[in-house]
Structure 1
Amino acid sequence: MASRDTLSPSALRRTLGLLRPHLPGQRLLLAGGGGLLLLEVVFRILEPWPTKLVVDAVTRSLGADLGEPGPTAGVQLLLACALAAVSIIGLRAVCNFGATVAFALGGSRIATALRARAFDHVQSLSRTFHGTARSGDTVQRLVADVGRLQEAAVSAGMPLLVNVVTLIAMLGVITWLDPVIAVVALAAVVLFALSSPRSSSRITHASRKTRRSEGDLANIAQETLAGMTHVHAYGMEEDRAQHFRGSNARSLKDGVQAKRLAAGLERRTDVLVGVATAAVLFIGGLRVVQGAMTPGDLVIVLTYLKTAMKPLRDMAKYTGRIARAAASGERVADLLDVTPDITSPAEPTPLPRTVRGELEWRDVDLSFVPGVPVLDRFSLHVPAGQQVALVGPSGSGKSTLVALALRLVDPDQGSVRLDGIDLRRLDVGELRAQTALVQQEAVLFTGTVEDNIRHGRPGATDAEVARAARLAGVDEFTRALPEGMRTLVTERGGSLSGGQRQRISLARAFLRDAPVLLLDEPTTGLDPENVELVSRAIEQLSRGRTCLVVTHDAQTARRADRVVVVEGGRVTWDGPPQDAPLERVLEEETAGAGEQTALRSVS
């Protein structure tokens, strides 16, 4: 992968590589658009000929000897040329409209497919990626960068293609009319071709910096909005505003630099076109006086030159747009280049028809940071149907065991097994279908309460959803909501209390009806009344299932069949709840938390 601070010469090639897999499905549409573009070029070539015929005919009517036979000006000729001009311009406009619509539709479909592909890819990446990637920047790549590719394809790629074909055709006709003048036009094209790549490279580099700055800006905004409660509580408004203003200023500076470079390329091209036009006007005038050309020929050459030079002006403008799109394309390509580290095997081992739910961690080593082990030769066996409470200090690896059971991460050494089968041999989707997860912070999505419960099993009937809601106690508070179960949930469930959100999460687990239940601090942060309601629902939910509950609550731990104390990434105690050293472990954890708080306040 190219360094972020240097321009990769393959930026445009990488961008085209992103789009290539999605082109076959739009082949017919794009081919039709291409055919209309070629017709538009034909009509552009024909467009000045009625003017040439009129100028030459009028000149002959005034008594000039043009050195070649031809008609004189008459009403019929003038009318025919006027109608021809209108017809040619009208047909060219129709072709341009059809090509624009075809390419816009094809570009939109390709961009939609690319965005869906990128989103699916991001979802396939493990929590290792999501733990380090900036979510605001990732969203910027999925939305803004893909959108910029689509815009460039329609507003720059298609016109650039038209202009290149037009330029070649016009140069061919000018050469046929007068080779001397064609040399002048060709020299202008060559000078543009020599100066453009260096400018394009600098524009792409500046555009890459702009997109990176915009990603930083989006990330700061996303972090601040997501943590607005803490921002208000700790008076962080000015600090966050300074971060935002600094990133905003960098984005402005980088954006202005990219536009300045693009504008410079356009103005240099304007000067080049002006010099070429002046040269043709001078040389063409001499050629007419010498009798080598007719006045009509000079008119048509000047018209062609203007038409042929317009692509150079436009190419300068479109080069800047395409350079900026290439920078966006690189960002999307970088995202797609991230290799998922959690994948299903090519030939997964099928699970038995009835999964018992036996879990085992066998000699597991795991480190998120090299040299800092989270789990160290960790071994634990949970028989099918047993309820195990995991207690221990924060950072001892308890929640990591849940992540391993879901195969959100893989161990560095050792194995995690379900019913004796290594999880790495199972299809990831099939494995996760056998588990239900309830976290400390209930995750809700935009939609109704009913929709959020149905995420547990999308194919469930209304009756099954209603039963899950009743078992989790959701119906106790939805009866008071305006639309009941069909009440809309605001972003992240902000319109509901913590207990209500947790009961919806439990209803989702009830509906899942999986043999393995994973609970990660399900009652932390709830008031006593909701703790009791949630605990009762958990007790009913865990019956007959393998249940692993991570908790700091002694009462929750005593409800389990077995307590396992995890300290320093190892099991330090394992036995029945009545004998568990819960007071010692929880007191040490509380003291440790207090020491950390004191240290943070001193620093």
Structure 2
Amino acid sequence: MRRFRPYLRGEGLILTGGMTALIAATIMKLLEPWPLKFVVDSVLRVEQPTDVATVIGLCAGALIAITALRAVFQFLATTVFSMVGGRVLTRVRSDLFAHVQRLSADFHEKSRAGDITLRLVGDVGMLKDTAVTATLPLLGNVLVLTGMIGIMLWLDWRLALVALVPLPLLWLATRRVTTRIGQASRAQRKREGAIAATAGEALAGMRAIQALGLEGAVSRMFRGANDRSLTDGIRAARLSAALERMVDAMVGIATAAILWFGAHAVISGRLTPGELLVFLTYLKNTFRPVREYAKYSGRLAKAAAAGDRVFDLLDQVPTIRDRPGATEAPAFRGQITFHDVHFAYDGGGAVLAGLDLTIPAGQRVAVTGPSGIGKSTLLTLLLRLRDPSGGRVVIDGTDIASVTLASLRRQISFVAQEPLLFSAPIAENIALGAGRDVTRAEIEDAARLADAHDFIAALPMGYDTVVAERGANFSAGQRQRLAIARAALRHAPLLMMDEPTAGLDSASEEAVARAIDALSADRTTLLVTHNLALAARMDRIIVLHDGRLAEDGSHAALLAKGGRYAALWRLQQGGRVRDAATG
């Protein structure tokens, strides 16, 4: 509740109204047995009042009015708390999603997407549900308990003490059992996170699973996690059921004690029969909060575990963030400089070891070399997805660590190896890259530059065609050209591309290469690729080796040099010739 307090700002007035309705409902609940008391004490006594029908009618009417008012006030309280809870937890979910997007690459590399999704959807949803279905009834019952204890002490303090003797014992037992329920529920929630993660990974890789015949193995993994979650759930349910039965036993013992001592109090004249009836009614309701707590203990423990998981995620601090005093980046021309840059991934060896590299504004540079030698790391550092362990990355003389992340990334277009496409119309997918409102004409111009307009226009719904999940209704080359169109619409001075033609056939590769030529014109371009035919279209090629610059020059100059690049070129061209001969 302390963590949720900031989200309650602006809800004070409506919460006050909800609490007022809840207190009014509590008062009505306290008044419910009293009409019956008056009937018992006034009508059923030996000397009846003159107008019996009037008294009975008034008491019946009062009971109807009290019950109706309680229903109205309870409805208002439930509605208010449901509305406030929904609004608060909707804001929590929005903040959580925004926070997840700000977390650094190292966090996402260690996390499982399915578990994060469960926290965003399931855990927040559980908090929202529990706030209304469990927390609100418990709060109302606590208010009723307080009021009933007060009235019972006022009616007969000795009898009230007899009734309340079991409560401290029951509370201690409840605390002990609910601690164990909480442990089981937290374990179950953690298991459910693992289940969601396993399911997400399996669904994302379903083609590979089916191709490799791994359905049985993956099902066994899922079933194992599912069975462990079931065990934890049964344990929590068993403890909760035992607690409920213990409460019922205590209620029975307390009721018998009140019946014994209360009857003697009536015989002695200390209580009226109607007051004893009120006492017995209150006694039943006095134990209701404890019974309800036992009933909802499992759900409350799960909600507490869900809250822990939500705020554990919110408490994660991005390792890459705006530094104190960070300023807005100036409008870049595009000169990139790596000054003695060192970098190593967690637990790994050095990827870059004192790299020095300068790329003039407007130059198109291809970066190539064997896998794992730091090609993509250059893009990662330029985008400040990670920071170098030593040295500086500079654009137009400005250390990128000194400017805000938003102002830096706003001036960089990025095309990934796996294009990011959403289940939305093609036009919306392309427009996402602009960071501003764009017209349909601008979207179509970007698509033409990316050599994508013709295949889009040929679709039955054209630019309004909805992209399937992960772009499954388009070929790899078409998906890549849509990503290039998005980058074109950004109009950024710097362009970064990571293996944009990987896995494409010759025709798609050529279409993407033409799009890259158009997109990279007059922009500082850093293209990471193993495709040397694509690299040869750039102004300059650099070859990395052992974390340093091994070769640097134009395609023709590097071939003439006869070094690493020339050897890779001959090997790759030989493979292309063989492919063409066998194709």
Amino acid aligned to 2:11? Q
SS of the aligned residue for 1:369 comes to coil
**How many Å apart are 1:18 and its aligned residue?**
3.0
SS of the aligned residue for 1:25 comes to coil
**How many Å apart are 1:371 and its aligned residue?**
5.0
Contact 1:394-1:589 within 8 A present in 2 as well? no
Aligned residue runs from structure 1 range 155-166, under 5 A: 155-166=133-144
Question: Kindly tell me: are residues 253 and 590 of structure 1, through their superposed partners in 2, closer, same or farther at Cα, counting changes over 3 Å?
Answer: farther
**Match of 2:253?**
275
Contact 2:354-2:548 within 8 A present in 1 as well? yes
**Match of 1:509?**
487
Amino acid aligned to 2:377? T
Q: Pick from 333, 336, 361: which aligns with 1:384?
A: 361
**Match of 1:115?**
93
Amino acid aligned to 2:130? A
SS of the aligned residue for 2:2 comes to helix
Q: Which moved more, 1:145-154 or 1:185-194?
A: 185-194
SS of the aligned residue for 1:447 comes to coil
Distance in 2 (CA, whole Å) between partners of 1:73 and 1:179 is: 34
**Match of 2:392?**
415
Report Cα offsets for 1:494-539 as digits up to 9, x if no partner: 0100011011001001101110000111111111111111111111
Distance in 2 (CA, whole Å) between partners of 1:579 and 1:379 is: 20
Q: Which moved more, 1:82-91 or 1:148-157?
A: 148-157
Amino acid aligned to 1:199? V
Distance in 1 (CA, whole Å) between partners of 2:225 and 2:254 is: 44
Q: Pick from 142, 146, 168: which aligns with 2:146?
A: 168
SS of the aligned residue for 1:161 comes to helix
Report Cα offsets for 1:85-114 as digits up to 9, x if no partner: 000000001000000000001111111011
**How many Å apart are 1:29 and its aligned residue?**
1.8
Q: Pick from 144, 152, 160: which aligns with 1:182?
A: 160
Distance in 1 (CA, whole Å) between partners of 2:540 and 2:418 is: 25
Distance in 1 (CA, whole Å) between partners of 2:226 and 2:294 is: 28
Contact 1:58-1:73 within 8 A present in 2 as well? no
**How many Å apart are 1:450 and its aligned residue?**
0.6
**Match of 2:29?**
44
**Match of 1:54?**
39
Distance in 2 (CA, whole Å) between partners of 1:556 and 1:514 is: 22
TM-score calculated relative to the size of structure 2: 0.95
Amino acid aligned to 2:18? G
Tell me whether 1:337 sits opposite 2:322 in the alignment: no
**How many Å apart are 1:72 and its aligned residue?**
6.2
Aligned residue runs from structure 1 range 445-464, under 5 A: 445-457=422-434, 458-464=436-442
Tell me whether 1:584 sits opposite 2:576 in the alignment: no
SS of the aligned residue for 1:394 comes to coil
Question: Kindly tell me: are residues 188 and 71 of structure 1, through their superposed partners in 2, closer, same or farther at Cα, counting changes over 3 Å?
Answer: farther
Tell me whether 1:575 sits opposite 2:558 in the alignment: no
**Match of 1:6?**
none
Question: Kindly tell me: are residues 535 and 307 of structure 1, through their superposed partners in 2, closer, same or farther at Cα, counting changes over 3 Å?
Answer: same
Question: Kindly tell me: are residues 144 and 238 of structure 1, through their superposed partners in 2, closer, same or farther at Cα, counting changes over 3 Å?
Answer: same
Amino acid aligned to 1:56? D
Determine what percentage of the aligned residue pairs are the same residue. Answer: 46
Contact 1:436-1:509 within 8 A present in 2 as well? yes
Q: Pick from 14, 38, 41: which aligns with 1:29?
A: 14
**How many Å apart are 1:73 and its aligned residue?**
6.4
**How many Å apart are 1:543 and its aligned residue?**
0.9
Distance in 2 (CA, whole Å) between partners of 1:578 and 1:332 is: 56
Question: Kindly tell me: are residues 87 and 550 of structure 1, through their superposed partners in 2, closer, same or farther at Cα, counting changes over 3 Å?
Answer: same
Tell me whether 1:220 sits opposite 2:198 in the alignment: yes
**Match of 2:577?**
none
**How many Å apart are 1:17 and its aligned residue?**
3.1
Q: Pick from 312, 328, 352: which aligns with 1:350?
A: 328
SS of the aligned residue for 1:481 comes to coil
Aligned residue runs from structure 1 range 397-408, under 5 A: 397-408=374-385
Q: Pick from 339, 343, 350: which aligns with 1:366?
A: 343
Tell me whether 1:75 sits opposite 2:53 in the alignment: yes
Distance in 2 (CA, whole Å) between partners of 1:193 and 1:293 is: 29
Report Cα offsets for 1:357-381 as digits up to 9, x if no partner: 1111111121112351121112211
**How many Å apart are 1:590 and its aligned residue?**
12
SS of the aligned residue for 2:344 comes to strand
SS of the aligned residue for 1:218 comes to helix
**Match of 2:522?**
544
**Match of 2:460?**
482
**How many Å apart are 1:59 and its aligned residue?**
2.9
Amino acid aligned to 1:278? A
Distance in 1 (CA, whole Å) between partners of 2:483 and 2:348 is: 36
Report Cα offsets for 1:362-412 as digits up to 9, x if no partner: 111211123511211122111111111101111111011111111111111
Q: Which moved more, 1:176-185 or 1:498-507?
A: 176-185
Distance in 2 (CA, whole Å) between partners of 1:312 and 1:588 is: 77
Report Cα offsets for 1:28-84 as digits up to 9, x if no partner: 222111111100111111111100000011232x34xxxxxx946611000000000
Structure 1 gap ranges (5+): 1-15, 64-69, 592-603
Aligned residue runs from structure 1 range 275-354, under 5 A: 275-352=253-330, 354=331
SS of the aligned residue for 1:489 comes to coil
| Alignment root-mean-square deviation, CA | 1.7
Contact 2:425-2:463 within 8 A present in 1 as well? yes
Contact 2:375-2:544 within 8 A present in 1 as well? yes
**Match of 1:553?**
531
Tell me whether 1:137 sits opposite 2:93 in the alignment: no
Q: Pick from 479, 501, 507: which aligns with 1:529?
A: 507
Question: Kindly tell me: are residues 307 and 563 of structure 1, through their superposed partners in 2, closer, same or farther at Cα, counting changes over 3 Å?
Answer: same
**How many Å apart are 1:271 and its aligned residue?**
1.0
Amino acid aligned to 2:567? R
SS of the aligned residue for 1:232 comes to helix
SS of the aligned residue for 2:332 comes to coil
Question: Kindly tell me: are residues 17 and 584 of structure 1, through their superposed partners in 2, closer, same or farther at Cα, counting changes over 3 Å?
Answer: farther
Contact 2:551-2:565 within 8 A present in 1 as well? no
Q: Which moved more, 1:70-79 or 1:313-322?
A: 70-79
Q: Which moved more, 1:531-540 or 1:319-328?
A: 319-328
Contact 1:171-1:185 within 8 A present in 2 as well? no
Distance in 1 (CA, whole Å) between partners of 2:281 and 2:89 is: 37
Distance in 2 (CA, whole Å) between partners of 1:340 and 1:460 is: 32
**Match of 2:173?**
195
**How many Å apart are 1:345 and its aligned residue?**
2.9
Q: Which moved more, 1:418-427 or 1:485-494?
A: 418-427
Report Cα offsets for 1:462-492 as digits up to 9, x if no partner: 2111110111111111122110011000101
SS of the aligned residue for 1:495 comes to coil
Question: Kindly tell me: are residues 262 and 72 of structure 1, through their superposed partners in 2, closer, same or farther at Cα, counting changes over 3 Å?
Answer: farther
Contact 2:342-2:389 within 8 A present in 1 as well? yes
SS of the aligned residue for 2:339 comes to strand
TM-score calculated relative to the size of structure 1: 0.92
Amino acid aligned to 1:582? Y
Distance in 2 (CA, whole Å) between partners of 1:529 and 1:585 is: 22
**Match of 2:64?**
86
**How many Å apart are 1:279 and its aligned residue?**
0.9
Contact 1:57-1:72 within 8 A present in 2 as well? no
SS of the aligned residue for 1:18 comes to coil
**Match of 2:218?**
240
